[in-house]
Structure 1
């Protein structure tokens, strides 16, 4: 499930600022990064499975060296299927609580990020 029109796509922030801000919203980087992109996840464990809100960032800098400005692309909500991974399809069922909390998280994150927006 894509979260469109959140405003996050119009934001760019310094990578060092970003890492502290996302923690405030229960988003973690963990190992989901390479040199030019990163994925921040918020995990939801509910009775019927595990869901992830994913916020994607890209940078021409070097994530490993904490260098660069991060821009964002459309966040997604997906359901985890062991052992295959996370599915994002429109045919997936997403509990209302998870969808609503994801929207609230994104709105609060965008509000905080706008303070540091470099665009």
Structure 2
């Protein structure tokens, strides 16, 4: 599901401060090799058997190169997903997310966004 109205959508930030701030807020950048895209995930454990939730924030380089760490990243709308072991993560609107989880996810993104605001181009 999309986490709308967090303020992070379309934010444009240099990669180095973006990595720093996201790391401070426990969003881990995926180690996938890509010149043009970044993905930050925040893991939320669940009491449900074999279920883990993730907040995913994706971004795309609008200039520079992610690998060289000189990229300028435009962030996309965050997603809340539910990982079903061993099948993978589902982000669909048909997924049922507890209301308190949605509130927590929104607050985590909003808190990171507040700190990112000073780096917005």
TM-score normalised by L of structure 2: 0.89
Q: Which residue of 1 aligns with 2:40?
A: 40
Q: Does 1:55 align with 2:57?
A: yes
Structure 1 stretches (4+) deviating beyond 4 angstroms?
Answer: none
CA offsets 1:18-55 (integer angstroms, 9 cap, x no match): 11100111100132452101110000111111010001
Q: Which residue of 2 aligns with 1:107?
A: 110
Q: Which residue of 2 aligns with 1:78?
A: 81
Question: Gaps spanning 5+ residues in structure 2: where?
Answer: none
Question: Gaps spanning 5+ residues in structure 1: where?
Answer: none
Rounded to whole Å, the distance in 1 between the matches of 2:117 and 2:79 is 20
TM-score normalised by L of structure 1: 0.90
Larger mean Cα displacement after TM superposition, 21-30 or 1-10: 1-10
